[in-house]
C-alpha cells in the first residue's frame, strides 16, 4: 500500500474557489481508478490531496493526465505546481474523503 500526498499553495483570496472545487469531489471514481482511499484537505494557504493504494503515485499522475481540463481549473487559484509532502498538517480541514466514513 502506498500513500502519496501532494500540496500546493493557494493565491491570496483563493480559498473559497478551492473549497468549492474540492467539495464537489474528484472528476473520477477513486475505486475504478484503483485507489483504496482518496481525500482532499484545505488550510488557509494550501490544498492537500491524498492518494492511497497500490502504485498511488503512478495512479495520481495518470489521473492528472486523463483529467487535464479539470486540472487546468486550478491554474488561476494556485501559485505553484504541487509538491510531494510527508503528510497532511493537523490543522488542515477535510473537504472530501473516500471511502466515506459512515460510522460518524
Q: Which domain holds residue 58?
A: 2-96
Exposed/middle/buried for residue 10 (C-beta within 10 Å: 0-12, 13-18, 19+): buried
Q: Which residue has the cell 481508478?
A: 33
Between 81 and 85, residue with greater pLDDT: 85
pTM equals: 0.92
Examine residue 19 and state whether it is found in any structural domain, yes or no.
Answer: yes
Examine residue 102 and state whether it is found in any structural domain, yes or no.
Answer: no
Q: What are phi and psi of 93, to 5 degrees?
A: -105, 130
User: Average pLDDT over the chain, rounded to whole?
Assistant: 93
Examine residue 103 and state whether it is found in any structural domain, yes or no.
Answer: no
Q: Which residue has the cell 481549473?
A: 73
Three cell numbers written together for 53: 493504494
Beta-ladder partners of 42: 47, 93
What per-residue confidence (pLDDT) applies to 101? 60
- pLDDT category of residue 103 using cuts at 50, 70 and 90: very low
Q: What is the mean pLDDT of residues 68-95?
A: 94
CATH of the domain at 17: 3.30.70.100
Q: What percent of the chain has pLDDT over 90?
A: 88
Tell me how many domains the chain contains.
Answer: 1
- Dump pLDDT digits (tens) for 26-69: 999 999 999 999 999 999 899 999 999 999 999 999 999 999 99
In this predicted structure, which of 3-7, 92-96, 100-104 has the lowest mean pLDDT?
A: 100-104
Amino acid at each position: 500500500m502506498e500513500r502519496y500526498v501532494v500540496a500546493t499553495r493557494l493565491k491570496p483570496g483563493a480559498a473559497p474557489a478551492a473549497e468549492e472545487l474540492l467539495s464537489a469531489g474528484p472528476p473520477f471514481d477513486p475505486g475504478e481508478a484503483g485507489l483504496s482511499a482518496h481525500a482532499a484537505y484545505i488550510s488557509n494557504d494550501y490544498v492537500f490531496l491524498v492518494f492511497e493504494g497500490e502504485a498511488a503515485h503512478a495512479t495520481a499522475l495518470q489521473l492528472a493526465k486523463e483529467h487535464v481540463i479539470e486540472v487546468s481549473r486550478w491554474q488561476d487559484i494556485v501559485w505553484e505546481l504541487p509538491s510531494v509532502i510527508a503528510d497532511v498538517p493537523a490543522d488542515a480541514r477535510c473537504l472530501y474523503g473516500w471511502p466515506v466514513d459512515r460510522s460518524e
